[in-house]
């Protein structure tokens, strides 16, 4: 996977917009961040999962999904190692992050 693939998957979701946060791209729905790229470096992304989703993704693909340290990590912020990720698995993780962040009116659609 590449940053370009990550970006395409995120931007394909309803009402998603790309912005910038702390000098790296982020992806938002209804103004709230659900994923980012390029932090701590260009080989990584981040998805904002539920703690339960984070557990399963990091258990099933520990080389791809790693919970961030501290409070952010305990709340579901999960680092993604792009090169190790398979496209369909990453798509599911980005979609889960989007669903966890999107308002109900969008999730129902």
The pLDDT of residue 21 is: 81
Range of the domain at 16: 3-107
Please state the rounded mean pLDDT for residues 47-62: 98
pTM above 0.85, yes or no: yes
How many separate domains does the chain show? 1
Q: What is the 3-state secondary structure (H, E, C) of the chain?
A: CCHHHHHHHHHCCCCEEEEEECCEEEEEECCEEEEEECCCCCCEEEEECCHHHHHHHHHHCCCCEEECCHHHHHCCEEEEEHHHCCHHHHHHHHHHHHHHHCCHHHHCC
**6-17 confidence digits (pLDDT tens):** 999 999 999 999
**58-101 confidence digits (pLDDT tens):** 999 999 999 999 999 999 999 999 999 999 999 999 999 999 99
Give the chain's mean pLDDT: 96
State the CATH number of the domain containing residue 99: 3.90.1150.30
């Amino acid at each position: 996977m590449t940053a370009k693939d990550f970006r395409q998957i995120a931007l394909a979701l309803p009402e998603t917009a790309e912005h910038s946060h702390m000098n790296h791209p982020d992806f938002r729905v209804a103004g709230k961040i659900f994923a980012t790229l390029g932090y701590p470096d260009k080989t990584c992304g981040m998805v904002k999962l539920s703690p339960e989703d984070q557990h399963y993704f990091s258990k099933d693909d520990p080389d791809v999904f790693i919970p961030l340290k501290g409070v952010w990590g305990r709340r579901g912020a999960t680092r993604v190692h792009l090169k190790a990720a398979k496209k369909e698995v990453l798509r599911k993780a980005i979609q889960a992050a989007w669903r966890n962040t999107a308002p109900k009116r969008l999730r129902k659609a």
